[in-house]
Amino acid sequence: MFRLRSADGNVIELEPEHGESVMDTAVRAGVDGIVGECGGSASCGTCHVFVPEEHLARLDPPEFAEEQTLGYTAVPRTDASRLACQVPAADVDGAVLDLPERQY
Amino acid sequence: MPQTASTGAVELDLDPFSDETIHEREHFDTTVRETAPVVWLSRYGVWATGRHAEGEQVVTDWQSFTNTAGTGLLDTRKKENWRAPSPVLDADPPDHTKYRSVIASVLSPVMVRTLQEHFEERAAQMVDELVERREFDAAQDLAQAYPLAVVPEIVGMSPEGRENLLPYSELNFQAMGPRNERYRRAAERAQAAVDYAATAVLRENLDPDGIGMRIYAAADEGTVTEQEAALLVRTFVGAGVDTTMYSMGLTLHALMTNPDQWALLQSEPGRARNAYEEALRWATPGPLLGRTTATEVELGGVTLGAGQKVLVCVNAANHDPRRWEDPDRFDITRRANGHLTFGKGVHACVGQMLARAEVTAVLSAFVRRVKSVELVGEPVKLDSNWLRGWEHLPVRVTPH
């Protein structure tokens, strides 16, 4: 289980299926703040999320494609930024991830 | 001699490349999808899946389902192909990573955003001219004409010889299927075009300000060789024109034949981008994607042997009722992302943001200028082993 908090403070709790990414779970649940236009190939930058520090430290660092795409997100990246399609939902169990104001 | 399926697998004697299937996919797609998660197509000795979950597994798990034997029906390692392998299409990580990043950086969302204005201007010009005429061929004069004009422009290719682009990419896609009559005809038509494609993408023939030269910049930095840069530009031009133009025609046709959705888009033109997304799902321009098992691997409860071809029936998966609610309904308000039209994962279409930008620009221009559109003649379907689309869509429009 993890939670997503929209820019205006609404929190939604999501239950991932086995092996899903945070983007997969959010798209399946129809969460508005995650688009996932490219379907999970780290190439559109529309599933931008902010991951709390303690969970961020546990994640594998971004690969090249994600690193590249994080440079193009609609809301500029911070140190907490990741693409939800590259974050296994199991690795952020219990976390509250923040969504940017917009993804385009 | 086709290989045989492993025991317990369901065999089907269906032909994905028969005239019947090419011109009306529904029977093939539904049978493959609803018979079993994975089936053996005995005529070609290949596996096929028409389900979303299994299809997604195949295109995502590149370690088990490799691209290195080509992404078509035939194993290009066993049979000499008509063209040299593409360093990005016909490869997997780690080799693939470097080439993909070179293309990804020139087709990044930021780059595409800088092209948006140009796309919108060209779309407005083209649509204005057509609306003046009232009657035109929405397939030839708009859906095909637009990418054929703007893609070479942004790549920086010379206008000379551009008539060769279409025969070249047609051969590219016919060759993904069997060596049948469609392939042979395309090969004949494309003789001159193959030479054209090889030289048109060379550094000396490109405009210094285009996207093509940005790929050569990677050669200057030593990331890729000069020859690889040429192959990457060739791949981009070969993969980015037909696919976009047929998807645009399919989108226009979907809107024409679903008047409630056309009316909705009329009242809310901001839905153009999602209308395209839904059309990509509902009428998939590339109904098949090929992979090859790298090792013995399990898929949908069946054990596939090593070195066997697997066809993902993308259109079938995009209509899988296990994944989509009311899948056969064309609904531009639907959340359509997650369709497999562009693939997924490391091999997902690298030009997909460009395709979205082009088609959204045209669709927005069209819906803002055209109040109503009707077919005034029999539409003609494309006859291709690997792509689906409209060759002719004779229409009459009424402007606002």
Which of A37, A65, A68 is facing B337, going by the closest CB pair?
A37
Report yes or no on A104 lying in a domain.
no
Q: Which residues of B touch A27 (CB under 8 A)?
A: 335, 337-338
Full residue range of the structural domain in which residue A68 is found? 2-98
CA distance A65 to chain B (A): 7
Q: Which of A18, A38, A46 has the highest number of chain B CBs within 10 A, making it the mutation to test binding with B?
A: A38
Whether the CB of B334 is below 8 Å from some CB of chain A: the reply is: no
Amino acid type, B172? N
Question: pTM for the full model?
Answer: 0.91
Whether A51 has a pLDDT exceeding 90, the answer reads yes
CB proximity list for B94: less than 8 A, separation 6 or greater = none
Say which CATH number the domain at A49 has. 3.10.20.30
Average pLDDT along chain A: 93
Q: Which of residues 40-99 of B touch A (CB under 8 A)?
A: 60, 97
State percent of chain A over pLDDT 90: 69
H helices present in B156-190, as ranges: 165-174, 181-189
Region B10-399: CATH code? 1.10.630.10
Q: Which of B390, B284, B270, B380 is nearest to B330 (CA)?
A: B284
pLDDT (tens, 9 = 90+) of chain B, 400 residues, equals 345 555 678 999 999 999 999 999 999 999 999 999 999 999 999 999 999 999 999 999 999 999 999 999 999 988 777 788 888 899 998 889 888 888 888 887 778 888 999 999 999 999 999 999 999 999 999 999 999 999 999 999 998 888 899 999 999 999 999 999 999 999 999 998 989 999 999 999 999 999 999 999 999 999 999 999 999 999 888 888 999 999 999 999 999 999 999 999 999 999 999 999 999 999 999 999 999 999 999 999 999 999 999 999 999 999 999 999 999 999 999 989 889 999 988 898 989 999 999 999 999 999 999 999 999 999 999 999 999 999 999 999 999 9
| C-beta separation of B152 from B169 below 8 A | no
Cβ separation A37–B346 shorter than 8 A: no
Nearest chain B residue (CA) to A69:
B108
| CA-based end-to-end distance of chain A | 27
Question: What is the Cα–Cα distance from B313 to A75, expressed in whole angstroms?
Answer: 36
Q: Which residues of B touch A37 (CB under 8 A)?
A: 277, 337, 352-353, 356
Q: Which of residues 18-37 of A touch B (CB under 8 A)?
A: 27-28, 30, 35-37
Give the total number of structural domains in chain A.
Answer: 1
Question: What is the Cα–Cα distance from B396 to B138, expressed in whole angstroms?
Answer: 9
Q: Which is higher by pLDDT, B145 or A72?
A: B145
Quick one: pLDDT at residue B4? 56
Sign of CA dihedral B71, A87, B325, B272: negative
Report yes or no on A9 lying in a domain.
yes
Report yes or no on A8 lying in a domain.
yes
Q: Which of residues 47-86 of A touch B (CB under 8 A)?
A: 64-65, 68-69, 71-72
Burial class (CB in 10 A: 0-12, 13-18, 19+), A28: middle
Quick one: pLDDT at residue B337? 86
CA distance B174 to chain A (A): 26
| CA-based end-to-end distance of chain B | 60
Report yes or no on A103 lying in a domain.
no
Cβ separation B344–A64 shorter than 8 A: no
Q: Which of B208, B371, B268, B281 is nearest to B55 (CA)?
A: B281
Burial class (CB in 10 A: 0-12, 13-18, 19+), B100: buried
Q: Which of A41, A68, A77 has the highest number of chain B CBs within 10 A, making it the mutation to test binding with B?
A: A41
